[in-house]
């Protein structure tokens, strides 16, 4: 046997066992990366209500859910969203795979949904195909209020219809969601940016308008002047905004088809009593839009407060080698809408409080309570519990705080006798009944 030499320290403790040493490991402090956020349990009621309303409205208006991957071939966004857009030039998150493929985290839904429409032969389904989705998107933008690097959108698309009725229906869907959420006074701004026949003339007119002041434009607008003059109207810098406010109106350049289409959309909106503001300078930041473009705002009208953005994209399916197919869609930021609801003081009632609460005492009481808890699950009755608390007082306090109407007490005595105490939490009246009768008794009392 090896003799263990006593050290000075252990010897001085006179035979008392030495304290177990704490394991040593390296510690690091971790924090959220910039521009992302947690959605904490107390926030979830808003999200749950929002998602439920979106699914209900989608069903009512005949939209089917689609889920597209979080990452796709980067060319989908370069070609679809557009090489000259801020999203692709500055904000896209890329992933280089081991096979040297370049993928991108989705910065928006439309290109992925259009890809799925083509890839799954949805042109063979009855047209139009009406799809919706919700989920996270990623843009490496400068984080600020209402602008995140990971955020969530709801997205609705109607693919395969050229009529203005689809543009109006997409707008209507979002307004219905807002009404059901209780969001007050959403304001719609709308414009038409024409098609590949009429927009070139408008672009020429814009270039002429800006030519004299080209040196006064901001760095980005100098690039836009060369690459995508429509986006000059979208700039948020004061000096560029001033120039934009005197620019020619696109509406004066629309071809007959685009003019009639826009007229048709506005007539449908009038018919549906949807108020709108015409904004001749609304162009939206993405390359694929044709004809109708629109935005919906809440109380604030700044660039960080657009709640919904959308429009028609009649060329996108064809751009991805699909058959020429007209389409229209829009997306709304969930975070921004929830923030708007809070600003407008719209409360969401949480309806997840258990009306019944199990209280247990002693080992046997706890064991039987676990079993009883499962019985309630099978009967679809929500019950509260505090299995980790040993005292009846603290458990009753929790039941009271949760607003439970009935407390079911299973102590050592009751567990041995196969009985249970049922306590009315309002009157304090108690009754002991056989354990096997408790589910029916609770059902009876909850019905009253």
Residues at the interface with ligand AMP (CB under 6 A)? 108, 139, 141, 146-148, 151, 153, 306-309, 331-333, 335-336
Closest CB 406 distance from ligand AMP, rounded Å: 44
For 154, phi and psi rounded to 5 degrees?
-105, 145
Nearer to ligand AMP, 262 or 288 (CB): 288
C-alpha span between 401 and 77 (Å, rounded):
51
Closest CB 54 distance from ligand AMP, rounded Å: 14
Determine the length of the chain.
Answer: 448
Nearer to ligand AMP, 139 or 368 (CB): 139
Nearer to ligand AMP, 148 or 357 (CB): 148
CB neighbours of 104 closer than 8 A, spacing ≥ 6?
Answer: 71, 72, 73, 74, 76, 77, 92, 93, 94, 95
Helix, strand or coil, per DSSP, at residue 380:
coil
Nearer to ligand AMP, 130 or 336 (CB): 336
Ordered alpha helix ranges (H), 64-126: 74-79, 86, 110-119
Closest CB 307 distance from ligand AMP, rounded Å: 5
Cis upstream peptide for 128 (omega within 30°): yes
Tokens standing for 111? 């290109």
CA nearest neighbour of 176 among 308, 83, 20, 373: 308
C-alpha span between 439 and 448 (Å, rounded):
15
C-alpha span between 112 and 98 (Å, rounded):
23
Closest CB 344 distance from ligand AMP, rounded Å: 16
Nearer to ligand AMP, 207 or 319 (CB): 319
Nearer to ligand AMP, 23 or 33 (CB): 33
Q: Kindly give the pairing relationship between strand 327-333 and strand 306-312.
A: antiparallel
Tell me the residue number closest to ligand AMP, measured at CB: 333
Helix, strand or coil, per DSSP, at residue 348:
coil
C-alpha span between 188 and 195 (Å, rounded):
22
Closest CB 309 distance from ligand AMP, rounded Å: 3
Closest CB 91 distance from ligand AMP, rounded Å: 8
Closest CB 252 distance from ligand AMP, rounded Å: 26
Closest CB 345 distance from ligand AMP, rounded Å: 20
Closest CB 110 distance from ligand AMP, rounded Å: 8
Nearer to ligand AMP, 146 or 326 (CB): 146
Nearer to ligand AMP, 286 or 435 (CB): 286
C-alpha span between 435 and 358 (Å, rounded):
13
Nearer to ligand AMP, 182 or 362 (CB): 182
The Cα-based distances of 83 to 73, 80, 87, 267 in angstroms read 14, 8, 9, 35
Ordered alpha helix ranges (H), 272-411: 316-319, 334-343, 362-378, 392-402
Stated as kind and residue range, the H or E segment containing 430 is strand 430-434
């Amino acid at each position: 046997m090896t003799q263990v030499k006593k050290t000075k320290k252990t010897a001085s403790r006179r035979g008392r066992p030495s304290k177990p040493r704490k394991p040593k490991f390296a510690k690091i402090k971790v924090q959220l990366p910039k521009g992302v956020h947690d959605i904490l349990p107390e926030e979830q009621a808003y999200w749950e209500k929002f998602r439920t309303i979106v699914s209900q409205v989608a069903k009512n208006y005949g939209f089917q859910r689609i889920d597209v991957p979080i990452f796709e071939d980067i060319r989908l966004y370069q070609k679809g969203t557009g090489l000259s857009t801020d999203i692709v030039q500055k904000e896209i998150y890329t992933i280089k795979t081991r096979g040297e493929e370049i993928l991108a985290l989705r910065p928006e839904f439309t290109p992925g949904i259009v890809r799925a429409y083509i890839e799954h032969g949805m042109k063979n389904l009855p047209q139009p195909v009406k799809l919706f989705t919700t989920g996270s998107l990623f843009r490496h933008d400068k984080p600020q209020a209402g602008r995140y690097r990971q955020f969530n959108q709801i997205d609705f698309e109607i693919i395969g219809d050229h009529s203005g009725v689809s543009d109006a229906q997409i707008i209507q869907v979002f307004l219905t969601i807002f009404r059901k959420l209780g969001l007050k006074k959403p304001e719609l701004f709308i414009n038409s940016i024409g098609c590949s026949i009429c927009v070139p003339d408008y672009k020429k007119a814009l270039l002429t308008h800006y030519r004299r002041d080209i040196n006064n434009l901001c760095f980005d607008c100098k690039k836009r002047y060369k690459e995508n003059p429509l986006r000059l109207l979208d700039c948020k810098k004061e000096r560029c905004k001033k120039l934009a406010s005197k620019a020619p109106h696109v509406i004066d350049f629309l071809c007959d088809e685009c003019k009639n289409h826009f007229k048709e959309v506005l007539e449908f909106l009038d018919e549906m009593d949807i108020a709108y503001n015409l904004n001749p300078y609304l162009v939206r930041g993405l390359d694929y839009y044709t004809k109708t473009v629109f935005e919906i705002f809440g109380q604030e009208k700044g660039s960080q407060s657009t709640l919904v953005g959308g429009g028609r994209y009649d060329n996108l399916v064809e751009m991805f080698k699909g058959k020429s197919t007209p389409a229209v869609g829009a997306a709304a930021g969930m975070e921004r809408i929830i923030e708007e609801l809070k600003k407008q003081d719209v409360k969401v009632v949480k309806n997840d409080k258990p009306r019944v609460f199990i209280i247990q005492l002693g080992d046997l009481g706890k064991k039987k309570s676990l079993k009883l808890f499962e019985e309630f699950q099978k009967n679809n009755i929500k019950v509260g519990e505090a299995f980790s608390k040993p005292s009846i007082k603290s458990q009753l306090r929790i039941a009271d705080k949760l607003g439970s109407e009935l407390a079911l007490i299973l102590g050592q005595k009751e567990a041995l006798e196969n009985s249970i105490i049922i306590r009315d939490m309002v009157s304090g009246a108690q009754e002991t009944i056989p354990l096997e009768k408790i589910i029916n008794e609770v059902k009876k009392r909850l019905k009253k």
